[in-house]
Structure 1
Amino acid sequence: MPVPLFLRPSQARDPRRPAVRSGPAVKALAGGLLVAAFTAQALGALLPDVPLLLAATAGSLAAEGALYRWQRGMLSLFAKSHADVTVRHVLRDLLLVVGLLRLGEQHRETVYAPLVAGLLACYALHCAIQAVSVLVRRTRTLPVVTRNIDVSALRLSPAPPALLRRPGHRLLVFGLPATGGLLATVATDLPVCGAAGLAVSLLLSLAGLGVLLVRLLPGRRPAGEQEVLDWFDAWLAAYRPTVGLYFSGGASSAYQANMWLEPLAKLGGRPVVVLRERFMVQKLAATDVPVVCLPKVSTLMRLEHSTLEVLIHPSNSGKTSQVLRIPTIRHAFVNHGESDKLSSCNPYAKAYDEVWVAGPAARERYALAEVGIEDKDVVEIGRPQLDAVLPYAGPPAGAFTTVLYAPTWEGWDGNPGNTSVVAAGENLVRALLADPGVRLLYKPHPLTGSVDPRARAADLRIRQLIRAANRERSGPRPPAPAELASWSAQLERLTATAGRAGADQVERMLAQPAPEPGRAAAVARAAAGWDEAYWASLPAWEHRIVTEARPALYSCFNRADLLISDVSSVISDFLASGKPYAVANTSGLSEEAFRVAFPTVAAATVLTPDAAGVPGLLEAVRQPEKDAFAAARAELALRLLGPAEPPAQERFGAAVERLRAAAREHRARMAGRLGAESRGRAAGLPGQRREQAPAGPAGRG
């Protein structure tokens, strides 16, 4: 049975070091330098002024390289302004030619005409390489993308060199000798320099074209579309999947599927993950479960004739409606978390056969929302993911109280109560940092600032406050333990999903066959070791901004003594720990109305936007006898998450098996009905689906 590998690949940089982002001023400066270099080059060509032309051209090339290395966003802005790399490179070489023609004697046009012809040939080859590159890419764009499946029968091969597939990089590299030769001709007035540079560029381009043309030979192409589809049908027949996870969404929503990979892998039968977007294949966390991406609806419909009986859905998307058309599969909506927000009881849930929730509170939530979900279709399964959350072990034992501030994002509806980041975030963080005994872990939602620029700005200010507080603190800093690097290397080796740099989807499919037995256990050991080593590598007094895939949210739960959050699924999950939590009320409601409106707040300390209640909250955490919500938390956890026995994973598995049985019964009934119709037609009896002649011009009787 496949077993989950639930961690994403480790990052090459030090995991304790926060990521650095370039601000708008830096981007504007980088773009301004490139524009200034082109302006100076134009002046040098028109005057003409050889030193200025040489310096400006060299500066332009240097600025181009710097932008490719550090400011890709600025390059996109240039491209949107129709000043992409091809236009910039042509302009750079054109200005060199203008400079050559304006220097020195009359009738120099005939001397430099061959250089101009050679330059045009370089650009013609560039266009030819790009055309062939597109053809090669099409042959390597398969109708099915996979992970953890043996695809040796599809004649896949490593990707062509990345340089040949990236027109901007290719033009810069292949055109650099020609540009350098023209620069030398400007400086020395020797046409042979330009000719030599052009010859090198032409040879590089011809070699690149040859490498790509070889990929189009019949024996070098991957399997064609129909051959891949036939292979996929054969794989479905051999693997015989029983239950699957269906997911479609944007790049930042992969976490919604990732949280269900481990529960899926622990099920009996033969699980599979079904994706719809090609990029999501690598965004998905490492897992031993077979993964298939079916971008086209026609390919997706091949699942109808497979043994797949149940699909679970952690989110809604426009493409979900496509798979719901398959009548042979039963569908269950499991959501990617539960909260009191309206999105947790979406009317779209009516499209599924069943809605699986954690506990009685979610059942009541659907009933109160009146969105058309019948109570008989709601099944309580608990939260299988919460096995990783450790229970409450008493008040803080060390010198510091660890507080996790994990606000949610602003959402799509503009409700100011969705996130506390804008109205209360800075006040909360200032109040926490003002206590010398607090260690703050700040873990914002991945989508923070994606809709409301104010949330993004507030998030950046909060990060600045935390970094400033760290600079003011002093204390011993433990060296990075050797174990951290060792565990990181092991995780990188065991869970790598991206393949080598420059690999395309076909190469990654080839590099990710069915995993070896025991890999999941090795990953679990490495993950636990990495987690311990990471936290041990940090000073006990240091505040942290947690935005990477590791440490995970539940790892932060286990280190925290207190959670401060918003009305979100984070609260429900944290209740599994039994630890104190607080909720920021930025809704504009009174505390009483706030508690009534959002039942998950029943056992929480409610904080106002000015954060005035933070000192009292910290006192209650440090002195449990002052904690007035301990009993309420236990009661609320039972309502939100359901009973501890039987375990949530067991309840989840039972729900899957029951729905599988319903799917088999439905298939049996359909087969019996079709068999009866077939026998009736053979006996000359009218069938249920006989054609009816249209009555009248409008087709109505």
Structure 2
Amino acid sequence: MSEPLPRRRLAGLFLARWTNPTGLLLRRHAPRALLTALFAAAFTVQAVGALLPHLPLLLAATVASVAAEGVLHRWQRGMVTVLAKSHADLTVRHVLRDLLLVFGLLRLGEQDRETVYAPLVAGLLAFYALHCAIQALSVLVRRTRTLPVVTRNIDASALRLSPAPPVLLRRPGHRLLVFGLPSTAGLLATAATGDLRCAALGIALSLGLALMGLFDLLLWLLPSRRPAGEQEVLDWFDAWLAEYKPTVGLYFSGGASSAYQANMWLEPLAGLEGRPLIVLRERFMVQKIAATDVPIVCLPKVSTLMRLEQSTLQVLIHPSNSGKTSQILRIPTLKHTFVNHGESDKLSSCNPYAKAYDEVWVAGPAARERYALAEVGVEDKDVVEIGRPQLDAVRPYAGPPTGPRGGAADGHFTTVLYAPTWEGWDGNPGNTSVIEAGENLVRALLADPGVRLLYKPHPLTGSVDPRAGEADLLIRDLIRAANRRRTGERPAANGELAGLTKELDALTSIDCRSGADQVERMLLQSTPEPGRAEAVARAARAWDEAYWASLPAWEHQVVTDVRPALYSCFNRADLLISDVSSVVSDFLASGKPYAVANTSGLPQETFREMFPTVRAATVLAPDAGGVPGLLEAVRHPEKDELVAARAELKRHLLGPDEPTSQERFNAAAQALCAAARGHRVRMAERSAAELPGQRLETATPVTEPKRGPGSERRPETEPEPATPSR
């Protein structure tokens, strides 16, 4: 017989199993599985206790079931949807719980007492009928408060906006749990004591709460408490467009995790000449857009979206493609340009959909060449080089890291930013290094005592391939374990970061209660304070400095929150390790060394040839064997043979430093606005020619403004007509 394993070894085996990818996945789903098992066991035991009958079993199972409901709604909200899809939502669970209690009471009591319980059953039925009535009224109230246009940074007080009804009346699950708790408690007390008055009192309380909720919702349907109707809102929106006179807009549609694609263009948009506007399609996206002074309108319906055709809006800028993009492209009075949310050597940066736009704005010559080689239908004359206005926040290279360990400016560590991209939709193994190389890269970096690692994964990591999500969790565990092995002095907490966080949160958010609906948020987010955008920028810079100062120089970091931003990590890093992605292109603005992981299976020379952004990079194999040499070149610039190549590649990818990207961006926008106005003039002239006697109403034309230097575009075959000035 073999001897038992020592406790220490058993603990090690358990830890190894718990921290491997399968264990990480198990850890993620263990709470849900446990809660599901608890519900199933509670209802099963409750049914057994009612059938036998067995009072202790019935009472214990009911209490456990109610406690599980509290845990579910407090800590496992995702399970609510899972149970609802299984037709086991809260209403079903609550009815079943009360039904089993009543059945148990009937089994526990004498046969001639069945008639005594009839009023209690009738009371329960009346309560559930009221619950259904409240839900119907709640839906009706919600519809009256669902406006065809949702706005931010626009004074919409004329629409009779008001605070939302209590959240308890709008959420059927929470409402039934709270309103039905007295009846369940009363039935439990009756089962324990045999006193019917407990059940009667509990059911009466539930009925009273339901009647109060029903009456409150009825008041919200009074004409004086309703917001403006649909036609009134549309008329108001048309009047606002006529008064504001927008010229250039940012159009965006996407999922909740894609808001960053629009947010990166907010500051450049606000810096344009004219009157900018942000056009959204999903209602939830209104709150996902970061702090800005630019007016925001959300137009969910196509019929409402088409009202932009009669406005002064001339150009729409598209940072991403979506299924709803084709709807806005129908408007003939607008010019559309695609700017993308980042440029890389991936095929997604040369999507054939780009040929649907009037122009494609890119950073530099590399993207122009990329479209020409891709042959996706985008003509070279429609490609305009504007640089990357967002990169003004990236600091240039200021020399190698210094210090006894060859570290950052504080004299301790070399800061390495590992920012892999996600796995993409096509399943190409070369998209992300997380799956095949992530663990090896992180282990190699953590093995160097002079390295401080910043790990910033893509927000969509694991959304397509579960292996990427598992690898991401493993990397985070490795970093936490490495931090536990390191010791050192921590900066003294002086409260500065907390104060700056509070200030920045106050500037970037509106003090809305958690139960506020869209109408209430419109009321509170009507007009921004003048100069708030500048105040946010100043507060963000101060927050960045305080954040990094609050962290020990030796501590590795996993960066997944909105703050600090990617560019803030750029400024702290001495070296970037990434994949073929827009992160590499943007990091080139700093001029610092960078490396790209090759998980495509291609030979290194072929890999460099296929992906131009890699030409000035150190290419790392999946085994991460080149990490020590890479770190040596970072710490000793005389060994860095790619300095000149990075400078040349920066010009090729991002264009010249002068004029600035913002100036080129503005010049391209004004030129496309002029083209849109010229198109309107021609269309009006043709309509007048086809309909003799019709009055021609167009602005007095003037010559088209010249394009700024750097916004290269080949001449049109037809000269642009005269257009009105700004």
The two structures have a TM-score, normalised by structure 2, of 0.90
Answer yes or no: is 1:310 the counterpart of 2:299. Answer: no
Instruction: Answer yes or no: is 1:363 the counterpart of 2:376.
Output: no
Q: Look up the equivalent residue of 1:373 and give its one-letter code.
A: V
Q: CA deviation at 1:372?
A: 1.1
Q: Deviations over 1:65-109 (max 9, x none)?
A: 001111122222211111110000001000110111011322111
Indicate the residue corresponding to 2:232 in structure 1.
227
2:668 to 651, 655, 677: 655
Partners of 1:548 and 1:22 in 2: CA distance: 22
What is the rounded CA distance, in whole Å, between the counterparts of 1:262 and 1:503 in structure 2?
28
Q: CA deviation at 1:497?
A: 4.7
SS in 1 for 2:560: coil
Q: Does 1:644 align with 2:657?
A: yes
Counterpart among 571, 576, 582 of residue 584 in structure 2: 571
Question: Deviations for 1:335-371, whole angstroms, at most 9, x for unmatched residues?
Answer: 0000000010111111100000000000000011111
Unaligned ranges ≥5, structure 2: 1-24, 403-410, 696-726
Aligned match of 1:59: 64
175, 183, 204: which one aligns with 2:180: 175
Offset from partner CA, 1:624-670 (integer Å, 9 cap, x none) = 00001011000000000000000000000000000001111111111
- Counterpart in 1 of 2:415? 402
* Map of 2:95 onto structure 1: 90
Distance in 2, Cα, partners of 1:205 & 1:157: 24
Structure 1 range deviating more: 438-447 or 480-489: 480-489
Q: Counterpart of 1:43?
A: 48
Aligned length in residues = 663
Where relative contact order (Cα < 8 A, 6+ residues apart) is larger, the structure is 1
Tell me, yes or no, if the aligned pair for 1:282 and 1:497 is still in contact at 8 Å.
no
Provide the residue aligned with 1:585 in structure 2: 598
Counterpart in the other structure of 1:677 = 690
* Superimposed CA distance per residue, residues 396-416 of structure 1 (whole angstroms, 9 cap, x where no aligned partner): 122100000000011111111
Contact 1:275 1:293 in 2 (8 A): yes
**Structure 1 partner of 2:525:** 512
Q: CA deviation at 1:310?
A: 0.5
CA contact (8 A) 1:152 1:510 kept: yes
Q: Does 1:633 align with 2:638?
A: no
Match of 2:427 in 1: 414
Are 1:622 and 2:654 counterparts?
Answer: no
1:342-357 superposed matches below 5 A: 342-357=347-362
Q: Which moved more, 1:520-529 or 1:591-600?
A: 520-529
C-alpha distance after superposition, 1:247-295 (max 9, x if no partner) = 1111111111110011001111110000011111111112111000001
Q: 1:681 to 1:66 in 2, by over 3 A?
A: closer
Is the contact made by 2:286 and 2:296 (CA closer than 8 Å) also made in structure 1? yes
Change (3 A) 1:245 1:617: same
**In structure 2, how many angstroms separate the alpha carbons of the residues matched to 1:631 and 1:561?**
17
Give the deviation of 1:48 after TM superposition: 1.2
Cα deviation code 1:32-61 (max 9, x no counterpart): 112211112112111112122112111111
Q: Structure 1 residues 410-419 or 100-109, which shifts more?
A: 100-109
Q: 1:378-426: per-residue Cα shift (whole Å, max 9, x none)? A: 0000000000000111111221000000000111111110000111000
Distance in 2, matches of 1:669 and 1:394, equals 56
Pick one of 338, 342, 345 that aligns with 1:337: 342
Show structure 1 runs of 5+ residues with no match: 1-19, 683-701
Encode CA deviations 1:221-243: one digit per residue, 9 max, x unaligned.
11111010000000000100000
1:382 corresponds to: 387
**What's the % identity of the aligned pairs?**
79
- Going from structure 1 to structure 2, the CA distance change for 1:71 and 1:681 (only over 3 Å counts) comes to closer
The equivalences for 1:167-206 within 5 A come to 167-206=172-211
Q: 1:560 aligns with which of 560, 570, 573?
A: 573
Q: Is the 8 A contact 1:498 1:508 kept in 2?
A: no
| TM superposition shift of 1:451 | 0.5
CA distance in 2, matches of 1:666, 1:23: 56
Q: Residue 466 of structure 1 corresponds to which residue in structure 2?
A: 479
**Amino acid of the structure 1 residue aligned with 2:364:** G
Q: Which residue of 1 aligns with 2:29?
A: 24
Give TM-score scaled by structure 1 length.
0.93
Question: Contact 1:390–1:558 at 8 Å: present in 2 too?
Answer: yes
Q: Secondary structure at the match of 1:470?
A: helix
**2-side partners of 1:478 and 1:192: how far apart?**
63
Residue 694 of structure 1 aligns with which residue? none
Partner AA of 1:252 in structure 2: S
- Equivalent of 2:113 in 108, 124, 127: 108
Q: In structure 1, what is the Cα distance between the partners aligned to 2:81 and 2:258? A: 23
1:124 counterpart residue number: 129
Aligned residue in 1 for 2:262: 257
1:67 aligned partner, one-letter code = L
Which residue identity is paired with 1:555?
A: S
Q: CA deviation at 1:21?
A: 12
Q: CA deviation at 1:505?
A: 0.8
2-side partners of 1:133 and 1:266: how far apart? 43
Report if aligned partners of 1:389, 1:576 keep a CA contact under 8 Å in 2.
yes
- Counterpart CA distance in 1 for 2:644 and 2:464 is 38
* 1:22 Cα offset (Å): 6.4
Q: Report the residue type matching 1:599 in the other structure.
A: P
Query: Residue 429 of structure 1: SS of its match in structure 2?
Result: helix
CA distance in 1, matches of 2:110, 2:581: 76
Aligned to 2:707: none
